[in-house]
Amino acid sequence: MTGKIHSQVYALDIWLEPAQISFRAYLVKDGKNTMIDTGPPLGSPEKLAEVLKAYDLALKDINFILNTHGHFDHIGGNAPIKKAGNPQIMIHREDASFLEDHNFCFEQFFAPVTKASNPQEDLAKARDGFLQEMGPELKVDRRLEDNDLLAIGDNIELRVIHLPGHTLGSVGYYWEKEGMIFTGDSICGLSTPDGSLPIIYDLEAYKQSIKRLLDIPLNMILGCHPYRGISLPPSAIRMGVGEVKRFLEDSLEAAERITEAVATVKGDKEQPLAEVADQVIARLPASMAFKPIAQLMMPQFTLTTVYNALYRNKG
């Protein structure tokens, strides 16, 4: 599916099979062509080329790739686009290793959760799966910092808003003139409809990021997954000042409730992580509709958030 959301902004929808949810990348056309995130690894460059063909573009026609963060489902199209036309790839410096050093990424961000989730799992096998999932390593052309200004066409300038939490280097790309921000997964609402917790690496940073956006004039949030709110249906896009504010407030409410629930759980690394996660979920409001681990198609999302909230930086 594709869709025009603004005279110069287009949504590119891609189905993410393992998680059974859609992924949304964005194309910005303004003399030059910019992709904001590139979707999951699609198996063949032809599939991504087919998506772009709807806009009379080929892979070689993309001038800039702006990644909102480094997770595989946001960078998977980088390699075929880079190979075809050599666009400038940009990502926040805190997430650059997701493109340039996959072994470091696995050890730093994924191995601890993998070991805690399933101590019997072969870590080398898990690493091999991770490396395959991430695709080829790529050089970052520009490491971004907070408040960098990016001229991506004849008239469009985007400001980098550092929004750590989901990852350390998550950002939003803010088009101030239009009150529009491309957030990727920086703001996760109550996560996707499957009932997982939102994936959060650093809860305190995440809450501060939401509060920062509440202070910025916004009338449109362009995300990448159909996140739900407390009383908002799942959607990747939030339009209008009222809906944007409500989604941000719902996201903050969910993060605060998770923080409170985690604080009441006496997590012990000797206890199975799934049991600890279920204790956290049981303490969350039933109205938020988070599901226990056994009912989740992708339990690693919830396990990641609970592990990081309880054990990260605690030895």
Predicted confidence (pLDDT) per residue in 44-72, tens digit:
677 788 889 989 999 999 999 999 999 98
Look at residue 304 and tell me whether its pLDDT is greater than 60: yes
Torsion, Cα of 176, 177, 179, 183 (10° steps)? -50
Dihedral angle sign, alpha carbons of residues 278, 235, 199, 120: positive
Range of weakest confidence among 12-26, 69-83, 218-232:
12-26
Dihedral angle sign, alpha carbons of residues 236, 240, 244, 246: negative
Can you read off the two tokens belonging to residue 210? 């939401």
Percent of the chain with pLDDT over 70: 95
What whole-number distance in Å separates Cα of residue 155 and Cα of residue 5? 18
pLDDT in tens, 153-202: 999 999 999 999 999 999 999 999 999 999 999 999 999 999 999 999 99
Look at residue 1 and tell me whether its pLDDT is greater than 50: no
What whole-number distance in Å separates Cα of residue 165 and Cα of residue 148? 19
What whole-number distance in Å separates Cα of residue 121 and Cα of residue 65? 35
Domains of the chain are 2-311 (3.60.15.10)
pLDDT in tens, 199-258: 999 999 999 999 999 999 999 999 999 999 998 999 999 999 999 999 999 999 999 999
What whole-number distance in Å separates Cα of residue 211 and Cα of residue 213? 5
Look at residue 12 and tell me whether its pLDDT is greater than 50: yes
State if pTM tops 0.85: yes
In order of 11, 25, 156, 188, 225, the CA distances from 14 in angstroms are 10, 8, 25, 18, 10
The partner residues of 28 in beta bridges, in order of sequence, read: 9, 34
**pLDDT, the chain, mean:** 92
* pLDDT at res. 17: 63
Section 98-107 average pLDDT? 94
* pLDDT at res. 95: 98
The model's confidence at residue 312, banded by pLDDT at 50, 70 and 90, is confident
Token pair 């075809």 is at which residue? 84
